[in-house]
């Protein structure tokens, strides 16, 4: 694979790997127990450029391509899946939306500091009764003088507790249907904005996930991103990048599980030899490696298409669908390789198995990915 990468891509990947193995992996269990990502970790990631990877340098970012972003996210996820979720949401959709739709003034105020790691960004679209059906949101933004007053609630918002700013969506014209939704950016401390205590989750417990409430939250006109009624298209604009991100972290967590299982299989002896020498184990590990590599190439293919400026929703959806499902299988097989030890919380596979499960849910469930793929299939064959 290395031969197909540029020197810059290899450098970014290796830097992410070093940071992940030195700073993330050793503290992953403690991070999960504490239920929060440490401030110094966030600061280091900002300094290394991981929080503004594809943002142009003139806007405060690194200006890297999406292949580099995918490679870096794989490595970060291998160290700690929860940290990779924070990084993924912050880069896309948060920074990606500001880069494409924010005014120059908004980019100066929000995008530049976000890309430099001054704060973590959040994305608030999902509501308690509307997940996949984004067009059915009920949070309202009512005109008030030169600004807006927001009332409503959001659910399952990543990084809301540690975040500094949120891109949120609300209905500005109830009679306009999908074209009546608008996008806003606002600080976490805005009066009327309440962040609940983090949800208790199966996995990724260090990545806080919270419900939000807007109770007469007043925003100025400068909080509006793009134009009124453009909100849904803004929300959907980052789907490709978001799904490349989740597919990348799926590959990263699966890779970490494989490496741990291989190390164990080479060390553990049964019937007079390392269990790796038993064909049943060796073939299982070989299948795991093949599945990971297949998913990795799907991810990089989607990333390369995006770097070329070509539409890649189909490819990103395929990568996300296949990588997320692959990761759960591979981590399960890694646990099987360790036997009883793999089931203990003292070993990292138990945590990785819980962390990776949500990859089939957020950024569009597996069924949503199938909808996207089937729509493209129908379009191509009906022509």
Secondary structure of 215-282 in the HEC alphabet?
EEEEECHHHEECCCCCHHHHHHHCHHHHHHHHHHHHHHHHHHHHHHHHHHHHHCEECCEEHHHCHHHH
Write the CA distances from 179 to 136, 154, 170, 319, integer angstroms: 11, 20, 11, 30
Contacts 24+ apart (CB under 8 A), 185-194: 185/98, 185/102, 185/106, 185/110, 185/223, 185/225, 186/217, 186/219, 186/223, 188/122, 188/160, 188/163, 188/164, 190/217, 190/218, 190/219, 191/217, 191/218, 192/150, 192/216, 192/217, 192/218, 193/217
Six token digits for residue 157: 């918002």
Catalytic residue, chosen from 32, 240, 350, 363, is 363
Encoding tokens for residue 227? 């134009």
In 3D, which of 178, 209, 222, 181 has the Cα closest to residue 85? Answer: 209
Instruction: Establish whether 7 is a catalytic residue.
Output: no
Active site residues: 363
């Amino acid at each position: 694979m290395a031969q197909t990468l540029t020197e810059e891509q290899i450098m970014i990947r290796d830097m992410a790997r070093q940071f992940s193995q030195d700073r993330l992996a050793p503290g992953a269990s403690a991070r999960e127990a504490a239920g929060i990502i440490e401030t110094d970790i966030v600061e280091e990631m900002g300094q290394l450029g991981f929080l503004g990877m594809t943002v142009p340098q003139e806007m405060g970012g690194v200006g890297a391509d999406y292949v580099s972003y995918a490679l870096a996210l794989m490595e970060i996820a291998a160290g700690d899946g929860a940290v990779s979720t924070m990084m993924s949401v912050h880069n896309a959709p948060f920074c990606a939306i500001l880069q494409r739709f924010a005014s120059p003034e908004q980019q100066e105020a929000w995008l530049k500091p976000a890309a430099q790691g001054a704060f973590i960004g959040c994305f608030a679209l999902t509501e308690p009764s509307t997940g996949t059906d984004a067009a059915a949101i009920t949070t309202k933004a009512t005109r008030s003088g030169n600004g807006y007053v927001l009332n409503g609630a959001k659910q399952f918002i990543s990084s809301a507790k540690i975040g500094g700013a949120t891109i949120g969506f609300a209905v500005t014209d109830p009679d306009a249907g999908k074209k009546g939704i608008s996008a806003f950016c606002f600080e976490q401390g805005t009066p009327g904005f309440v962040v609940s205590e983090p949800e208790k989750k199966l996995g990724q417990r260090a990545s806080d996930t919270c419900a939000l409430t807007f109770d007469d939250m007043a925003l100025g006109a400068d909080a509006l991103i793009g134009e009124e009624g453009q909100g849904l298209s803004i929300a959907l604009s980052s789907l490709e990048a978001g799904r490349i991100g989740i597919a990348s972290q799926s590959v990263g967590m699966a890779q970490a599980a494989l490496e741990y299982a291989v190390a164990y299989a080479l060390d553990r002896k049964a019937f007079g030899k390392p269990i790796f020498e038993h064909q049943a184990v060796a073939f299982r590990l070989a299948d795991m490696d093949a599945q990971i590599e297949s998913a990795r190439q799907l991810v990089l293919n989607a990333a390369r298409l995006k770097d070329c400026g070509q539409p890649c929703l189909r490819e990103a959806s395929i990568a996300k669908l296949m990588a997320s499902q692959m990761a759960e299988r591979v981590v399960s097989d890694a646990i099987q390789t360790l036997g009883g030890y793999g089931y203990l919380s003292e070993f990292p596979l138990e945590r990785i198995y819980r962390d990776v499960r949500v990859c089939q849910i957020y950024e569009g469930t597996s069924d949503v990915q199938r909808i996207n793929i089937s729509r493209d299939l129908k379009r191509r064959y009906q022509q």
